[in-house]
Amino acid sequence: MSLNEYIEAVKTAVQKLDDYNLSESIESQSDVRKDQTAVLHIKVILIDKSELYVREYLDGRDRVTKVSYSYQYQADDKSLLFRYDNSQHKPLLGFEEHKHQRDGSIIPNPMPSIEAIIDEIMDLFG
């Protein structure tokens, strides 16, 4: 799969929120570079004014690899509902991939698929 194909697959997964009439707007930006790396940013405003932010830095030289990622979902008042990322913390957490939870705790969590993120948000809508 090429970087462009991967980016389109992510956009298609996020589009599910619109297909279920849960989004007010979806904005996406991607920058595929000549060295076969890319940056992808997506912002979704949902009907309850909550927001999803997707950020991925991708390396597509051999196969598409997520070098870094962040999937943040926040309430209309900007309070965190959840965030998955692989950012390094200081002090170190003892694990790379993790989930920030609503209560402020951080737990180890493998990188989820974008489809799993969308399903988690849809589950919160009931």
Q: At what angle do helices 114-125 and 3-19 cross, to 10 degrees?
A: 10
What would the pLDDT profile of 40-87 be if each residue is shown by its tens digit?
999 999 999 999 999 999 999 889 999 999 999 999 999 999 999 998
Helix, strand or coil, per DSSP, at residue 50: coil
- pTM as predicted: 0.91
**Cβ–Cβ < 8 Å for 89, 70:** no
Q: Which of 5, 58, 50, 74 is nearest to 13 (CA)?
A: 5
**Residue ranges covered by each domain of the chain:** 3-125
Q: Could you give the C-alpha distances from 65 to 13, 87, 94, in angstroms and in order?
A: 18, 15, 22
State how far the Cα of 39 lies from the Cα of 79, in Å rounded to an integer: 25
pLDDT of residue 38 exceeding 80, the answer is yes
When pLDDT is averaged across residues 101-107 and rounded to a whole number, the result is 92
Q: Quick one: what percent of the chain has pLDDT higher than 70?
A: 98
